[in-house]
Structure 1
């Protein structure tokens, strides 16, 4: 039996992933604000420390996989705190617990939005590990009026962090495949209002085209997560896998970068 930590486990992709892994016989440590084995706020330093302590208490400091999935989609500074700094802290904080596994695995959630224009200052502050500057910049963006930079920037920065770190001694050198999925529009409570009207669906489709089977259920992303944290995944390193019904292909054509 493998032990997998799943953040954002109380809803959406995280909930579907937890259910799928448990149905396959894995032990899942769910992490969320509420209704979870470890209830913490990953937007705060205290919450990130409590995550590591809580998982350590429940597992004896030994796990087999990390699914750093918790995230927000709102254009507010909190989104940067959770999506980037919370995800990185989860991966780095729990990485030592993978040392005892015969097949350690780690994965996080990026987004097709990582392809959209980010705010360069916000991304660079994040990659520099300067959360205070990043949060100040996110606040400036909000105060500047309706824009859509914070969410794409959080996922752009996370994808770049992943690419930089996956091949390092700490990850690949320790036998840990570190990768990400990048979903398109997922049918969850987070998107229900947005997709609740014909006008809303048309608006979403205009900037997130998904020609293959349309909007996707959370279970589709969960199935990909399940393989990425399985022993079968032996050589995927630093990949951001777009599970988006074709959005990436439509937006970037035949470019692979």
Structure 2
């Protein structure tokens, strides 16, 4: 007898799931048997702005009513930011932290009643290599992702004994539409892409599908003893110190 897909009978909610990493995650979870509800600002059945608590609660309730349950929450929605600590206004700091950090709080908070009823509850937050590595011109973004890492561990401690596992994925530079827009705005897009690729030891940008595979691992019922983990998908950027390629 063939084994059932690992997410068979489970419902996964993915924020920011209409494009980029989120879309790859939604496709991966669906391929592994999950019913997937995508929340995003547009181009989805569940339109939701994670900075609006009322909208979040309405969307999460709508997902639960349509599918009858919520077992997995993937907090992927977020926004980028460029510049040193002096580059962004107070308003921009609040905007990014609201989306990247408090957005996770709103979605998870709304989903908790359903997760508590699931036999395989899991939350996966989207962190970043920027949470631990000092990257130039990323002060605000790095601060937001450092908060995501700390929040993930605190959430894991709070909810592990309720049967809810919380983990996070920390991608390196991923080949997404957002990165594509940054490259297009560069003076020399080809040179900028080469530089971003070269700083990752495996020599290329991360594929969104690789991040999706890590999310699926952390969310899977097969990973029931994996709790409070930060899983890097960065081509070795965080941990390796390889010699430069000889010119």
Give 1:225's match in structure 2, choosing from 191, 215, 234.
215
2:42 match: 34
- What TM-score, normalized by structure 1, do the two folds share? 0.78
User: 1:100: how far off?
Assistant: 2.3
Instruction: Give 1:3's aligned residue.
Output: 11
Q: Counterpart of 1:254?
A: none
Task: Name the counterpart of 2:63.
Answer: 55
Q: Shift in Å at residue 117 of structure 1?
A: 5.3
- Aligned residue in 2 for 1:111: 128
Q: Deviations over 1:90-131 (max 9, x none)?
A: 12221221122221111110000111459xxxxxxxxxxxxx
- The match for 1:174 among 138, 147, 162 is 162
Which residue in 1 is equivalent to 2:196?
204
Q: The residue matched to 1:214 in structure 2 has which SS?
A: coil
Question: C-alpha displacement at 1:148, in angstroms?
Answer: 3.0
Tell me the TM-score normalized by structure 2. 0.81
Q: Do residues 88 (structure 1) and 96 (structure 2) align? A: no
In structure 1, what is the equivalent of residue 154 of structure 2? 164
Distance 1:152 1:51 in 2: 28
Who is 2:3 aligned against?
none
State the secondary structure of the residue aligned to 2:29. Answer: helix
Match of 1:67 among 71, 74, 77: 74
Structure 1 segments unaligned to the other structure (5+ residues): 119-145, 252-257
Distance in 2 (CA, whole Å) between partners of 1:89 and 1:25 is 26
Specify the alignment match of 1:148 in structure 2.
138
Distance (whole Å) between structure 2 residues aligned to residue 45 and residue 95 of structure 1 = 14
Aligned to 1:123: none
Quick check: 1:194–1:201 contact (8 Å CA) kept in 2? no
